[in-house]
Amino acid sequence: MKIVFANSAWVSAAERLILRGGSWQSVRLRVRYGLIFHPTAGPVLVDTGYTREALSGERRGRMLRLYGALLKPELDAAGQVLPVLKHFGLSPDDIGTVIVTHFHADHISGLSLFPRARFIASDAAWTRVKARTPRQNLRHGIFTELFPTDFEARLNGLSSKPRVEARDSALGGADLFGDGSVIAIDLPGHADGQFGLLFAGLSRPLLYAVDVQWLLTALTENRTPGFPATLIAEEAGAIEPTSAMLRRFMGTGGEVMLCHDPAPTSYDFATSNPEAG
């Protein structure tokens, strides 16, 4: 099974806002999404990263426009989801599944580009999205105009997946494809319903931990940022227990990858060998 991650955009932030004890120097953060070539499910997307739909799409509401103006994401043209798919000889219609790790704009921006895909996501979190008012969803960082109108009809909820435990770690979660190759691991703290993906069958197990932290240094050196970064967390008190779990995983030889850490990894599109995997 081949796994590739691409960078959809860059977002700049002062280091001290994302790393306790950091400087005021600006850090350019990646906005990753993934592409899995699964032996039976075919090509599977992991989120979509930022796309033009979030930054210039006609459906954007006033608050989404403000959000884009404040963060000022710089789209990476070569790393956008459609050019990356084209590089691998794929079109949007070839994507049968999009795994949605959580519902923030930089993860769901391009869902409308995939009209034939089923969405694997937290159905419990989706139920809460539906129960809230638009203003309440905004307080949770969710812009509902980015969801396809038929999102619920195409939702394949985590609650329907069997629970398993990875053989070589203490981590357990939802077996997304019924073969133990991709396991959804609950990662509370940053966003409602956030989960990461454990690829346990690799020679070195990989856990894509999404937005548990913005920087790997914050995780490995236990430098979780405090106020005001915690203001945007869904459950600030859960960030450190979740981070501690990831440190234990790394202590057993596992590798952790984050969505926004700027350092390139062996799985990133620019550094991956397209023939590997």
Query: Which CATH superfamily is 2-257 part of?
Result: Ribonuclease Z/Hydroxyacylglutathione hydrolase-like (3.60.15.10)
| Domain limits, the chain | 2-257
Q: What is the pLDDT of residue 232?
A: 84
- Residue 155 to residue 29: CA distance in whole angstroms: 30
Residue for token pair 């690829």: 199
Q: What sign has the CA pseudo-torsion 153, 136, 215, 56? A: positive
Phi, psi angle pair for 60, to nearest 5°? -65, 135
Report the pLDDT value the prediction gives residue 254, as an integer from 0 to 100: 95
- Across the strands, what pairs with 34? 5, 46
Whole-number Å distance between alpha carbons of 39 and 133: 41
d(CA 250, CA 205): 9
Mean pLDDT in order along the chain per 10 residues (277 residues): 96 94 95 97 98 90 92 95 97 98 97 97 98 94 96 97 83 95 96 96 95 96 85 90 95 96 94 42
